[in-house]
Amino acid sequence: MTDTYDLSFYKEHPKTCDPNDFWSQVKRTVNGKPIPQKQIDMIVEAVCNGLDLSVDDTLLDLCCGNGALTTYLFEQCKGGLGVDFSPYLINIASKHFVKRPQESFKLQDVGEFVDTYPEPEQFSKAICYGSFMFLPHESAYKLLSTLRLRFTSIRKLYIGNLPDKLMMSEFFSGRDYRPGIENDPGAPIGIWRTKQEFIELSEETGWSSTIVRMPPEFFAAHYRFDAILTPLDMQK
């Protein structure tokens, strides 16, 4: 099946923002305003704890956007690589958020990247934050399968900010709902999944996942969840 969705939002939207308004560029906003630093700190803490990120780790950030979040994570490890298909955002990432020689950003579709990257074994941890729901179903399935097959040194993969399908009716009450929007990766929120659907997707692709929730004071805690994936064959 060929994807027929309009996936251009993240290639076009960032260009409408102030070049230094990094959080608006990746839509990390509430009522149109960038979220406070305390909220960013909560994300960084959740990811670092979830990944058990240490100075020995090399991190792969899939759909890294402008690198504004990636840089906090690179600070906690040996370095790594961020990959995104938006030329505008990767340009910002390379200009503002490369702090050491062992940190870099690459312009590429993540599906193509996982299929072709020549040194997949160098990464020990990976993240896909606020982005997985924008991948069409088949691409999401293929991404997780290929990561498991080729990136064999990855011990933990953090998939963050997933829209929870069980909270969808609450979310859309008082908002415009278009039938089928929950399966549209090009919609502003992307694809909604239940926790069980996400667990099944990860198991089918070779991962075991633990679902976690952000603290209630996190701005999106009421309708999103995170998942920490470990290779299925590495379970104790």
Ligand X SMILES: C[S@@+](CC[C@H](N)C(=O)[O-])C[C@H]1O[C@@H](n2cnc3c(N)ncnc32)[C@H](O)[C@@H]1O
| Contacting residues toward ligand X, per CB under 6 A | 10, 26-27, 63-65, 69, 84-86, 89, 109-111, 129-131, 134-135
Question: Which is it for the CA torsion 59, 63, 67, 70, positive or negative?
Answer: negative
Which CB sits closer to ligand X, 92 or 199? 92
Which CB sits closer to ligand X, 45 or 196? 45
Q: How far is the CB of 218 from ligand X (least distance, A)?
A: 14
Which CB sits closer to ligand X, 105 or 134? 134
Q: What phi-psi label fits residue 211: left (phi over 0), alpha (psi between -120 and 50 degrees) or beta? A: beta
Q: 224: closest CA among 184, 197, 194, 180? A: 194
Which CB sits closer to ligand X, 124 or 131? 131
Residue, CB closest to ligand X: 65
Which CB sits closer to ligand X, 213 or 232? 213
**What's the CA gap between 103 and 78, in Å, rounded?**
8
Q: How far is the CB of 57 from ligand X (least distance, A)?
A: 18
Q: How far is the CB of 62 from ligand X (least distance, A)?
A: 7
Q: How far is the CB of 29 from ligand X (least distance, A)?
A: 11
Cα dist. 221→1, 122, 216 in Å? Answer: 34, 33, 6
Q: How far is the CB of 43 from ligand X (least distance, A)?
A: 8
Q: Which residues of 93-121 are buried (b: 16+ CB within 10 A; e: fewer)?
A: bbeebbeeeebbbbbeebbebbeebeebe
